[in-house]
Amino acid sequence: EVQLLESGGGLEQPGGSLRLSCAASGFTFSHYAMSWVRQAPGKGLEWVSGISGSGGTTYYADSVKGRFTISRDNSKNTLYLQMISLRAEDSALYYCAKDPIAEGAVGYFDPWGQGTLVTVSS
Amino acid sequence: EIVLTQSPATLSLSPGERATLSCRASQSVSTYLAWYQQKPGQAPRLLIYDASNRATGIPARFSGSGSGTDFTLTISSLEPGDFAIYYCQQHTTWPPGATFGQGTKVEIK
């Protein structure tokens, strides 16, 4: 069974930094692109960042470009999101999500983890 | 950026009724459209991909149709567990990005 378990969220001040992690199991992690998708409280879904299976290619939404860095450690089956210069509008539940197609990237997501909550406030 | 507009915002129906949800794209996305279901306190679950293909384990009462700019998710006969928020998502611009609609809430009448 595929499992995705996010961690690393918490309360951070504006301008601060956090690193989120997503531990994956139940599949050959290095064969699949992965993404981060966030959801502000009571709001809709926003794709944040994606990374190829090898880690060699990364993608970002304009809203986080230059502030967030996605990476992965395929030896540890773990996905990361390093977030710096945090803003109040970055407050959200952050989900990691798996691309369902091996050795490719189709851009829809299945499954999703349960999320880790990031709150940016002074 | 491609904008997805879902309608209605809220759909009030009774169990057993048919639900028809709409997703309109600001420009053609071909059939690169997915639908997700999200229940309170849970992560989204993929229902439909490529406009009309059911994901693994999704019951046959869920069906998707459409191409280009107009898409529909139909739930043929609502069951109690189907009352949730439904999101559409386009991935024609992938990579690098994907965009979601604002969601339709299906609530019990």
Count other C-beta atoms under 10 Å from residue B14's C-beta. Answer: 8
Chain A contact present for B60, CB below 8 A: no
Strand A116-120 vs strand A10-12: parallel, antiparallel, or unpaired?
parallel
Question: Tens of pLDDT along B44-81?
Answer: 999 999 999 999 999 999 999 999 999 999 999 999 99
How confident is the model at residue A107, as a pLDDT? 86
| β partners of residue A33 | none
pLDDT band at B94 (very low <50, low <70, confident <90, very high): low
Chain A contact present for B99, CB below 8 A: yes
pLDDT band at B97 (very low <50, low <70, confident <90, very high): confident
How confident is the model at residue A67, as a pLDDT? 98
Question: Tens of pLDDT along B7-57?
Answer: 999 999 999 999 999 999 999 999 999 999 999 999 999 999 999 999 999
Helix, strand, coil tally for chain A in percent (to 5): 5, 45, 50
Task: Tell me the mean pLDDT in the region A106-122.
Answer: 95
Q: How far is A68 from chain B (nearest CA, A)?
A: 15
Task: Tell me the mean pLDDT in the region B87-104.
Answer: 87
Question: Tens of pLDDT along A13-32?
Answer: 999 999 999 999 999 999 99
Name the percent of chain A lying above pLDDT 90. Answer: 93
How confident is the model at residue A52, as a pLDDT? 92
Q: What φ, ψ does residue B12 adopt, rounded to 5°?
A: -105, 115
- The residue written with tokens 């439909």 in the block is B48
Cα separation of B105 and B39, whole Å? 10
Task: Please give the structure tokens belonging to residue A120.
Answer: 């940016």
Residue B39 CB partners (closer than 8 Å, separation 6+): B81, B84, B85
B43 contacts on A by Cβ (under 8 Å): 95, 111-115
DSSP for A67-111, written as a single string: TEEEEEETTTTEEEEEE-S--GGG-EEEEEEE-SSTTS--S----
Residue A38 CB partners (closer than 8 Å, separation 6+): A45, A46, A48, A90, A92, A93, A94, A95, A118
Distance of CA A74 to the CA centre of its chain: 15
Q: Residue A122 carries which side chain, given as an amino acid letter?
A: S
Cα separation of B82 and B19, whole Å? 10
Candidates B34, B42, B43; nearest CB to A108: B34
Task: Tell me the mean pLDDT in the region A63-87.
Answer: 98
How confident is the model at residue A104, as a pLDDT? 74
pLDDT reading at A8 higher than 80 = yes
Question: Tens of pLDDT along A31-40?
Answer: 999 999 999 9
How confident is the model at residue B50, as a pLDDT? 95
How confident is the model at residue B49, as a pLDDT? 96
**What residue in A sits closest to B49 (Cα-Cα)?**
A108
How confident is the model at residue B92, as a pLDDT? 79
